[in-house]
Amino acid sequence: MKERPEPPTIVVRHGGAPGPVLREVCAGAEEEGVPTRVEPSGTPADAAVLAHAAALASPLEVGVGIDADGAVAVHHASLPPGTPALAVASGGDQPRWRRAGAVAARIVTGLPIA
């Protein structure tokens, strides 16, 4: 039996992200029709650093980083490190986390970011 190739995904890299933040970010992207792949970073890091590394690892060139405090950043591989397309400070709420995932997906699909 042939193994099915893995679909291209947005990489979500986290450094011990709170579960609710991680779930909402992934849900936001998947609601826009773009799958995610979650990867622990292994070491704590800033959300923007994690997001840039995730973008470089993603076949779609878009990544999301979530730090241990729940800050979220969305990055494209073509942007300079430290300049995410979107940043949500720690202490955000469910709609902002979900919107971050949706923004990442809309960057991939080329839809306007509302």
| Whether the predicted pLDDT of 83 surpasses 90 | yes
Within a domain: residue 113?
no
Higher pLDDT, 96 or 1: 96
CATH of the domain at 23: 3.40.50.10150
Tokens in use for 22? 């991680």
Within a domain: residue 69?
yes
Question: Domain range holding 42?
Answer: 10-107
pLDDT one-digit tens code per residue, 1-42: 677 777 899 999 999 999 999 999 999 999 999 999 999 998
Residues of the chain above pLDDT 70, percent: 99
pLDDT of residue 95: 96
8 A C-beta contact, residue 20 and residue 95 = no
Other Cβ atoms less than 10 A from the Cβ of 49: the count is 20
Within a domain: residue 18?
yes
Within a domain: residue 36?
yes
* Counted domains in the chain: 1
